[in-house]
Structure 1
Amino acid sequence: MASKAVIGVIALLVLVPVLIAAAGKGAVEAVLGSTSNGTIVNCGTPIADIPSDYCALYVQASAVCPGLDWSILAAIGKIETDHGRSNLPGVHSGENFAGAGGPMQFLHATFNGVVSRHTIPPGGANPPSRYNPHDAIHAAAFYLCDSGAPGDLYKAIFAYNHADWYVKKVLEQAETYSNAAAAAGGAGDCNAIQAPNAPAAAAINYACGQRGLPYVWGGDGPSEGGFDCSGLTKAAYSAAGINLPRTAHTQYHAGPRVPAGQPLLPGDLVFYGPPSKVRHVGLYIGAGKMIHAPTFGERVQIGSYRWNRDGYLGATRPATSAEL
């Protein structure tokens, strides 16, 4: 490897190990995340700029290093060779100026060392080749573990590329991919709930169980005949162990805010109206959908979170304040 460091970040996406008991109609079918944690990444759905075949290899290979998130391998693949799409010397054949080759940019000696210590799973070349994506990505996962990942991620990175800028760049890219995977995976369906963590899943599950209840101004739940918009979101996150303020306005200003331009994740709260007078809130459940209590004469329901002249303001991510 030409001083290229493989790094890791703590997985942003965690497995909800059991189906959350129905507060009604929802059940957690799958939670996006690292396969080393037993979770599911749907590579059949486009995740940022990752080709589906490379996505599947990153997910598969992460399992050989327990605790390693797939997004770390994906970030390395992106930075090194744009997931094998680069036409620079050494990517598909030969070597670059430093002697590195293949989609994960291994030195010949480093790759051979990994192969001598570990058995690359079937599916690549015979014998394994650093130019074969299957073999190179699995070798990178093994090399991470040999270098200290996931326990000492900085050490693992630095063993791959002795540069602080590289560590920072891979960490940032991995986080981008993790967020994109969760956003892509949100089903928008109460019968197949997907969420990035247990609190978000619990909140969605609770809200799904309230579908059909009437909108009631100031309503806090079934005992009062129904919900208003912020009563529903407060109750949903209360079921997840997170206390929110009571009104849409105070919930928005309580944060934590989702930065503008960042993909929404299932469990985010979406708000409408000006910052000085936030008028509505819903609970995002993926696929462009939210569950909310719309207005008088309507019931708790699933609907699109964007529409013409909706006055969309932004989103918050209450689940990040939980102890995960």
Structure 2
Amino acid sequence: MASLSTTFILLLVTVSASVSAALSASVIEDLKSLKPPHDFNTTILKNCQHNPSLRYCSSSPMDLDEIFKSTIVASHLCNESKNPNCVESFPKIDLQNDPKMAPLYLSFNFFWKYCPLSILAIDLSNNSLRSNFPVDVLQCTQIQALDMSHNNLFGDVPIDSFSPLTNLTLLNLSYNHFSESKISDIPFFKRFNSSSFLHSGLLPDGKKFRIKAVLLLVGFPIFVILMVCCLGWLCFRRPDFLPRMLRPKHRFTPAMLKAATNRFSKKNLMGKSESVDIYQGTLRDGADVRIEIYRGERHPTLIEECKILVQ
């Protein structure tokens, strides 16, 4: 790691000699106008000869403009990350509680592409970042710690992109809004406990599960009781609502007769005498009926006559 830091320092020193003004935030925001110095290519080649593991050494052909901009951003980010010995080492990206700067650095895809191997930790927590997971960050495959907590990140977590991070021992994705995923079933994520994913949307919410369980335990018996009451009402008051095969034959309840005659309205009254009222009506199945309502002492005799008629 010491030789790697030295290589990175040589590159920064060479660049800073030609672009000393590049340490202002305004330059970072206007990288398109920056061009590498004339001897930049030579410096890059020497660095790759000294340390072939540098990320830009494996790119072919080399994009010198991107590599140059990456070194400028690295220099700025080193200062922003509160590293006391920024020129000597660059072990951590610390943009915690810096919502103005964090989105800016996340937009520099070329920086993450050539992420310095000296960076071992990235802290972008508490920045109110509202986007999908910034997958470019995971190109820093050597990192040991990653904190993206307390943001507004949403969508799916790029599970496959985490696999190359074999050195990662600390992960915090808590307090985000990711889509629920069974990360607990994936071997890579089993090395982290649930505190890494609190209120992130990635793990099933125990509170929601308890609410569903209570609703099921309470709601299901209530549903059964309501169904029994409903079926009882149909059987004893309105059997004409039951399927034809379940309807009792020759059975007419007062509720059925009331419905057929529109509550025994005067419009349905066909005739009336001292002992009987005669109504016309229509049953629910469309059959026209005549309904006679008897008064007085003929009740037992009427029942016997009805039995004979039914037979």
Q: Same fold (TM over 0.5)?
A: no
> Normalising to structure 1: TM-score of the pair?
0.20
* Higher relative contact order structure (alpha carbons within 8 Å, sequence separation ≥ 6): 1
Greater CA radius of gyration, 1 or 2?
A: 2
